[in-house]
Amino acid sequence: MHHRFSRREFLVAGGMAAAVSISRDALATPPANVVLPEVSSQASDKAAQHIVDMHVHFDEKNPNFVGDLVKVCERLNMTACVLTPFSNRKVIADAAKQYPARIVPFGFVDLDAPDVVKQVEELHTLNYRGLGELEFVKKPFTDPSYMPVYELANRYGWVVLFHTGIVLRKKFDEPEDVASYRMRAFHLEEIARRFPKITVLGAHCGNPEYEWAAEVARWNPNVFFDLSGSTLLKMHARLSEFRNIFWWSSTGWGSKAPEGDPGAFVKLVFGSDTGLDGIEGVLNQYRALFEACDVPANTQRLILGGTLAKILGLPE
């Protein structure tokens, strides 16, 4: 395998096996020995579909990250929302100006930083379109101390990507002030309702609390989730179970949805959360889910790019 390890990943030496990369959510990138199902029926319209990937972390370790990313975007007809550490903000602001159809800048800020509000204001002046991935928080996402950031995001009409669910442990033998419960999917409900101009995106669909994630998305038109991380790998032999979680298609129990789509799966968006060489693999995982759950073609189009293209004002 020739997976490039990004800053956010770390290495697990796997005995005689090749190295396996693990993302925050554990196993976002399918290991090389996992055979992903081929979904050949989708192959013909791959070229036509405009993909919007909500979950591309800026890779500080790759000096040619922008060039490499643009190549992948051209090949997949994709726009990448690049989750950019504040210290790298200028590089991606410039890249977004140069490649507006391929790169959308998102600010990866620390909600507990004392100057986070100032950082967010500066990102706005640099034409950033949102924040994310917000994670490793010291308090639950709904803590009052985070409200000034959400108020700004609401004023800007931004898209904000929150990590939800289980989170990786960076160091196994040192104390860490990190806990998944602070990032449970149901916290997004309060943020979405108090700040209706924010498009609230939850990464990883609350893994493993998919039901909470889906129900919060069902009642809140401004909430969507991506299925990046280990979920589609963990569930690969039982993907049809997602029909029980996204259950309300055509029942009248949904809320306002993009293009009035009555399908429950329209509450998903595409996010890869992987190295640049893993994005296509995650696309195939999404397509396997579509097949297992009979997701209609138009809903697939909205999930893979249509919904976010509209929200971000991108050409479809």
| Residue 3 sits in the site that holds Zn ion (CB under 5 A) | no
Q: Number of residues in contact with Zn ion, rule: CB under 5 A?
A: 3
- Torsion sign, CA atoms 245, 249, 254, 260: positive
In the bound state with Zn ion, the residue whose beta carbon lies nearer, of 161 and 293, is 161
Q: How far is the CB of 192 from Zn ion (least distance, A)?
A: 18
Q: How far apart are CA 315 and CA 312, in angstroms?
A: 9
Which lies closer to Zn ion via its Cβ, residue 22 or residue 292?
Answer: 22
Binding mask 160-199 for Zn ion (x = CB under 5 A): ---x------------------------------------
Site for Zn ion in 113-142 (CB under 5 A): none
3-state DSSP percent of the chain in helix, strand and coil, to 5? 40, 15, 45
Assess whether the previous peptide bond of 175 is cis (omega < 30° from 0): no
Any contact of residue 57 with Zn ion (CB under 5 A)? no
Nearer to Zn ion among residue 50 and residue 163 (C-beta): 163
Determine if 66 is a binding residue for Zn ion (CB under 5 A): no
Selected range binding Zn ion among 63-71, 111-119, 155-163, 181-189, rule: CB under 5 A: 155-163
Spatial distance between the Cα atoms of 8 and 275, rounded to a whole number of angstroms = 10
Min dist CB 8 to Zn ion, Å, is 9
Rounded distance between C-alpha atoms, residue 159 and residue 125, angstroms: 16
Looking at the Cβ atoms of 114 and 177, the one nearer to Zn ion is 177
Residue 203 binds to Zn ion (criterion: CB under 5 A): yes
Query: Smallest distance from the beta carbon of 199 to Zn ion, in angstroms?
Result: 17
Determine if 24 is a binding residue for Zn ion (CB under 5 A).
yes
What does the alpha-carbon distance between residue 253 and residue 144 come to, in Å, rounded to a whole number? Answer: 32
- Comparing CB distances to Zn ion, the nearer of 104 and 201 is 201
Contacts of 201 (CB under 8 A, 6+ apart): 54, 132, 159, 160, 161, 162, 223, 224, 225, 226, 269, 271
Nearest to 307 by CA among 246, 263, 273: 263
